Amino acid sequence: MTEGGNKPVKLGFVEDFHGDTDIILKELRDSEMNFEYQVATDEKGFLKMLKELEPDVIISPYSLKGTNAVKLLGLTRDAGYDTPFILLAFDLSEDIAIDLLAEGIEDYVQRSTLKRLPVAIKKSLQRYKIQLELKISEAQLRQSEASLSEAQKIAKIGSWEWDVGSERVWWSDEMYRIYETEKREITLSDVKSFIHPDDRKRVDELTSKDLNDNIEPVIEYRILLNSDRIKHVISSAKQVKDSNGQVTQLIGTLQDVTEKVTSELEAKANQIQRELTLQASRIGVWHWLINENELVWDDRCFEIYGIERRAIDVPDFIEFIHPEDRNSIQVRISEALSSGDYSSEYRIFTQQGTKYLHGRGKVTFDNTGAPIRMDGIIIDMTERHDIEEALRNSEQLFRDMAESITEVFWLTDWGLNKVLYVSPQYERLYGLSAESLYEDSSSWSKAIHPDDLDRATKEFREHSIKGTYDTEYRLQMPDGTIKWVRDRAFPVYSSDGGVSRIAGITEDITKQKLDKERIETLSLVASETVNGVLIHNPDGTINWANKGFEKITGYSYDEIVGNEPWSVMAGPETDQRLVQMTYQKVQQGKSFSSDNILRHKDGHNVWVNVSFTPILDEYGNVSKVVSIGMDITKQKETEHLQRSMLKKLEKANEELKRRAGD
């Protein structure tokens, strides 16, 4: 939409029989606005105008026969148009007009300020253009975020932050996995120590240069793991600057590209080999003059055989052939002299090693039917043979890998609805034979729990071809036991862009499901128990507290979470020796229990028996600590009273003995 110029603004007027349109048109023409227009007097005419004209701006009074401007605005939005609405508030107070703006009316013009209408139209068009550009930008941003999210699912990408000029570095979880190190505080010195010694100077120089030149760095280098293995990574960063334009922070990502680099190196080696082979050409042309027993080779033949140009006869040719292939070649030649067609694959010895060749030829006969010459070609099939051998090795490697993992790997032909491959783990997980699956591709569903069958099979049919199939369901074993599995599928596309295969992975998640149920049960128990339960980090920072804790200490959940318990509840009589011993034991991954005194929120002392149990992560490091506290104040008071009474009894007994002695 434009205002002025060669393209007129399309205006849609709504007439309320007050003769306002003529007045408006005069004002617009006086303003030299370039426009075209249509007029509607009711809803039916309005909808027709909306469809035919597709106005850039709609100008309407508040009320109209049988309708009003707010309703017309709703009809416009329902029809899919975001057209700006300008209200002619001839008979409305300014307060009512402002309320209508809240309903979505773009602007309003009073009769006394009608000369402002051209300006209002222009501003409405400008606002609409800005809003449209904003929507486009938001859509592009959402698309970019979706693309980034999808890429991160596929790529091994970690994120990091570095405060420039300091040692402070933050890593995401993926960074620790890439570097294969336990989760801990990371400093800039740690990061540099991981860099391969041969790359450290280059990385330092590039980082410093990029910062000095105000360039956001993208650096590829190697890292050296604790196991002495090498990984290739690419690190990229975004600069964060202060108000003076100085770089204060780098926020970036690091991607493990080891597989990519390895593949590229292998591909480059293969490409070099192919280029060298092509330079020498793999096809040679030859002629065999049978009566003269002479072979005529072109340069390519000599290059393939790896010898200098010289006279060649049939015995020479036979001599080059691998001993195991000589008899078959002679038989094929003899047959060709009768049939007229020659074709044979064989090996030859060269200075470069054994080569695999394919010879083809046609025999020419004289008038008597006697063969007089054979013309043909030889094709160097060595590279193809190597590729086929590599493919066979690759297929074997794939099978070895698929058969060594605990998950079930499967591959189907989508068009034929046929299972092409399923790993041996299928029989263990599903309790069905692989042979039955090859015979009937739907037989896997026989193991699905009846309550999950319809949902699981429906999701597979609808989502596997889209690449969105990722579901969980139960398997019912022949012995009645239940297993939980997670089943995922991914389409494999052919060269024409269609789906040719569906590959999938099924994993046993029974343990995770049972663990989740146990955790939920334990969480419920922990929430309702009268004892105080805390979950905190190894450094003591509290993550969670139950109601029992609040009852014992007087501190609410919000007051305690994020703090270290003893720093809040320790009092003058708290045994700090036991507190320090607790930290030492927990950091060693050991459980510990002790009686100690804490200070209640209202100031009185509470005796508690606290047991601390560390929770270890997959690397054997303490990730969380669960502590359970029991209020034993009454028990301690009873023990104190018992000791006091015992002392009194002992004192009385001594007094009795003394008097008896007197």
The enclosing domain of 347 has a CATH number of 3.30.450.20
Residue 524 lies in a domain: no
CA atoms 648, 649, 652, 654: torsion sign: negative
Query: Same domain for 24 and 109?
Result: yes
Residue 399 lies in a domain: no
Residue 559 lies in a domain: yes
Query: Same domain for 413 and 304?
Result: no
> Could you tell me the maximum CA-CA distance found in the chain, to the nearest angstrom?
159
pTM over 0.75: no
Number of domains within the chain: 5
Question: What does the alpha-carbon distance between residue 544 and residue 541 come to, in Å, rounded to a whole number?
Answer: 9
Residue among 605, 604, 586 nearest 534 (CA): 586
Residue 658 lies in a domain: no
Give the SS3 label for residue 297. strand
Residue among 39, 31, 41, 32 nearest 11 (CA): 39
Question: What does the alpha-carbon distance between residue 40 and residue 50 come to, in Å, rounded to a whole number?
Answer: 9
Decide if 581 contacts 594 (C-beta within 8 A).
Answer: yes
Give me the pLDDT at residue 281, please. 53
Residue among 621, 519, 477 nearest 185 (CA): 621
Assigned token pair, 473: 């369901």
Question: What does the alpha-carbon distance between residue 260 and residue 237 come to, in Å, rounded to a whole number?
Answer: 21
Give me the pLDDT at residue 403, please. 63
Residue 563 lies in a domain: yes
Query: Same domain for 201 and 226?
Result: yes
Give me the pLDDT at residue 363, please. 92
C-alpha triplet 136, 103, 47: angle, nearest 5°: 75
Give the SS3 label for residue 252. strand
Q: What is the pLDDT of residues 75-101, one digit of tens each?
A: 888 888 888 888 877 666 666 666 777
Residue 548 lies in a domain: yes
Query: Same domain for 66 and 160?
Result: no
Give me the pLDDT at residue 522, please. 60
Q: What is the pLDDT of residues 406-447, one digit of tens each?
A: 788 888 888 888 988 888 888 888 999 989 988 998 899 999
Decide if 81 contacts 50 (C-beta within 8 A).
Answer: yes
Distances (CA, A) of 173 to 82, 181, 183, 296, 379: 45, 10, 8, 69, 54
Decide if 37 contacts 117 (C-beta within 8 A).
Answer: no
Query: Same domain for 127 and 17?
Result: yes
Residue 72 lies in a domain: yes
Range of the domain at 82: 9-134
Q: What is the mean pLDDT of the chain?
A: 83
Query: Same domain for 409 and 495?
Result: yes
Assigned token pair, 366: 């004289």
Give the SS3 label for residue 152. helix
Residue 445 lies in a domain: yes
Assigned token pair, 21: 């349109």
Query: Same domain for 487 and 533?
Result: no
- CB atoms near residue 19 (< 10 Å): 8
How many CA atoms lie within 13 Å of 391's alpha carbon, on the beta-carbon side? 6
- CB atoms near residue 586 (< 10 Å): 21
Strand-pair partners of 286 = 297, 376
End position of a domain, from candidates 467, 485, 513: 513
Assigned token pair, 117: 């209408």
Query: Same domain for 504 and 538?
Result: no
Q: What is the pLDDT of residues 351-375, one digit of tens each?
A: 888 889 989 999 999 888 899 999 9
Query: Same domain for 471 and 550?
Result: no
Ranges of H-type helices in 529-603: 547-553, 557-560, 565-569, 576-587
DSSP strands (E only) in 408-481: 408-413, 418-422, 470-476
Query: Same domain for 13 and 130?
Result: yes
Residue among 29, 24, 26, 31 nearest 39 (CA): 24
End position of a domain, from candidates 231, 261, 291: 261
C-alpha triplet 311, 313, 319: angle, nearest 5°: 110
Query: Same domain for 180 and 223?
Result: yes
Here the CATH number for the domain that contains residue 60 is: 3.40.50.2300
Question: What does the alpha-carbon distance between residue 332 and residue 363 come to, in Å, rounded to a whole number?
Answer: 12
End position of a domain, from candidates 337, 361, 387: 387
Decide if 212 contacts 190 (C-beta within 8 A).
Answer: no
Decide if 644 contacts 625 (C-beta within 8 A).
Answer: no
Residue among 540, 552, 543 nearest 629 (CA): 552
Enumerate residue ranges in the chain where pLDDT < 50. Answer: 1-5, 149, 274-275, 277-279
Give me the pLDDT at residue 132, please. 77
Assigned token pair, 513: 């499901």
Amino acid code (one letter) for 544: W
How many CA atoms lie within 13 Å of 495's alpha carbon, on the beta-carbon side? 0
Q: What is the pLDDT of residues 218-269, one digit of tens each?
A: 899 999 998 788 899 999 888 888 888 888 888 889 999 988 888 887 777 5
Question: What does the alpha-carbon distance between residue 341 and residue 361 come to, in Å, rounded to a whole number?
Answer: 6
Give me the pLDDT at residue 278, please. 42
Give me the pLDDT at residue 395, please. 58
Distances (CA, A) of 655 to 643, 646, 662: 18, 14, 11
Assigned token pair, 626: 């669960």
For 93-136, the DSSP string reads -HHHHHHHHHTT--EEE-GGGGGGHHHHHHHHHHHHHHHHHHHH
Query: Same domain for 21 and 127?
Result: yes
Residues 6+ apart with CB under 8 A from 373: 287, 288, 289, 290, 363, 364
